[in-house]
Amino acid sequence: MVTLNGELAYLAGALRDGTVVIRSGYDYEVRLAQKSREWLEVLNDLFARIFGRSGSIYREKRRGASGAVRAYYVLRIFDKRVVGELIRLFDIATPQTRWGTPDIIRRAGADIVKHYVRGFFDAEGGLPKDPTRAKQHYISFDQANLDALAFIRSQLAQMGYRPTRITKTGSVWQFRLTRRADIMRFKNEIGSWHPEKKRRLDLLYASLGRQDLLFPSSPLHPSAQLPPPPELAGGHHKG
């Protein structure tokens, strides 16, 4: 039986972009689909380290309603124990709109919550595609479940961040961090283990840092040391 730690809390946040299901016929599956194969490799390694099981990653194409073909990568893990532990720990429900914040995360300490926020951002967060040229600088959090998003916002506010109000576009709720000090602090204190988002977050930080050289009086919140992303193992235990 696994117990909650930082890496497992990160996985819980990352699963906001995945599904954990039990189908008829005792078919137990964890599934995550992403454009970034590299991030799925990070997650697969975490599953191997925490549960001793990992899955397979493959490329898939699907035609959308508009007729355009969308290509992405899929991580699938078929394992009864992994699925059972995830559901037991995190109260996972499908579809995502029915899955609120897990009670174990609500009761956790600040350090565990920061890992959960990082995983949530890597799954459902956004930032400018080209931070060096963007006219607007921001970090966004997007989620179909209002309760889950409101928890993230409240935790950031308790840490001293100043998030925007939650707004709704279509079926998705969103809030942002838009203040320079908040964005720079987020990068240092919470950060990202998603390779592409980490790259863009670093660029955004550098761009804001150059602005700070022009306006040195702008106060920056002292930040904690960010834990490094987990190293990929040389191989996985196949489940």
- 165 in Cβ contact with 146 (< 8 Å): no
Give pTM, 2 decimals.
0.87
Which is higher by pLDDT, 219 or 83?
Answer: 83
The pLDDT tens digits for 25-48 are 768 999 999 999 999 999 999 999
User: Per the domain annotation, does 105 fall within a domain?
Assistant: no
User: Per the domain annotation, does 231 fall within a domain?
Assistant: no
User: Per the domain annotation, does 228 fall within a domain?
Assistant: no
The pLDDT tens digits for 97-110 are 899 999 999 999 99
For residue 144, the domain's CATH number is 3.10.28.10
Q: Residue 134's CB: how many other CB atoms inside 10 A?
A: 15
- 76 in Cβ contact with 33 (< 8 Å): no
User: Per the domain annotation, does 113 fall within a domain?
Assistant: no
Domain residues for 160? 122-214
Is residue 71 located within the same domain as residue 142? no
Q: Quote the strand ranges of 13-99, DSSP E.
A: 18-23, 27-34, 56-63, 69-77
Distance (Å, whole) CA 112 – CA 50: 15
Distance (Å, whole) CA 30 – CA 44: 11
Is residue 83 located within the same domain as residue 129? no
Distance (Å, whole) CA 209 – CA 237: 42
User: Per the domain annotation, does 146 fall within a domain?
Assistant: yes
At 186 the pLDDT is 98
User: Per the domain annotation, does 127 fall within a domain?
Assistant: yes
Q: Which of 64, 98, 132 is the last residue of a domain?
A: 98
Angle (CA) 99-79-5 rounded to 5° is 60
User: Per the domain annotation, does 15 fall within a domain?
Assistant: yes
Token pair 């009761």 is found at 107
At 239 the pLDDT is 44
User: Per the domain annotation, does 173 fall within a domain?
Assistant: yes
Is residue 152 located within the same domain as residue 94? no
The pLDDT tens digits for 148-207 are 999 999 999 999 999 999 999 899 999 999 999 999 999 999 999 999 999 999 999 999
Q: Tokens for 179, please give them.
A: 């203040």
Q: Domains in the chain: how many in total?
A: 2
Is residue 11 located within the same domain as residue 94? yes
Is residue 126 located within the same domain as residue 185? yes
At 230 the pLDDT is 74
